[in-house]
């Protein structure tokens, strides 16, 4: 069963057993962490993300970014733990 991560973020949910319980875009396995990485770290625009992954809607991407700003410390930690070290090993 999925539950809305926060009523302020209708497009973001946490579902036990999906992506380790990380916040994802509702009805997908696309993590908030991935959207943040593509948009804020790699410089993709929301339009580019939607063009690359057409199952995402602009509102979903913007809501994931909004969720990030509300839970920035948590998402930054998920990014850190899932980013390989320069030697290729996991950082966590």
Note the pLDDT tens digit of each residue in 11-68.
999 999 999 999 999 999 999 999 999 999 999 999 999 999 999 999 999 999 999 9
pLDDT at 68: 98
Q: Report whether 27 contacts 18 (CB < 8 A).
A: no
Q: Tell the residue number behind the tokens 């199952």, with chain if given.
A: 55
Grade residue 7 by pLDDT with cuts at 50, 70 and 90: low
Q: Which domains does the chain have, with CATH numbers?
A: 2-76 (1.10.10.10)
Look at residue 2 and tell me whether its pLDDT is greater than 80: no
pLDDT at 90: 58
DSSP three-state, residue 14 = strand
Q: Six-digit token pair at 10?
A: 């209708």
Q: Which H helix or E strand runs over 69? A: helix 58-70
pTM summary value: 0.85
Q: Six-digit token pair at 86?
A: 């320069």
**Where are the strands (E) in the chain, listed by range?**
2-4, 12-15, 24-25
């Amino acid at each position: 069963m999925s539950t809305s991560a926060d009523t302020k973020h209708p497009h973001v949910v946490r579902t036990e057993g999906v992506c380790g319980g990380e916040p994802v875009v509702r009805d997908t396995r696309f993590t908030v962490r991935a959207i943040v990485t593509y948009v804020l770290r790699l410089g993709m625009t929301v339009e580019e993300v939607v063009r690359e992954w057409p199952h995402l809607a602009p509102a979903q991407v913007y809501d994931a970014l909004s969720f990030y700003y509300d839970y920035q410390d948590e998402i930054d930690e998920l990014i850190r733990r899932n980013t390989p070290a320069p030697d290729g090993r996991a950082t966590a």
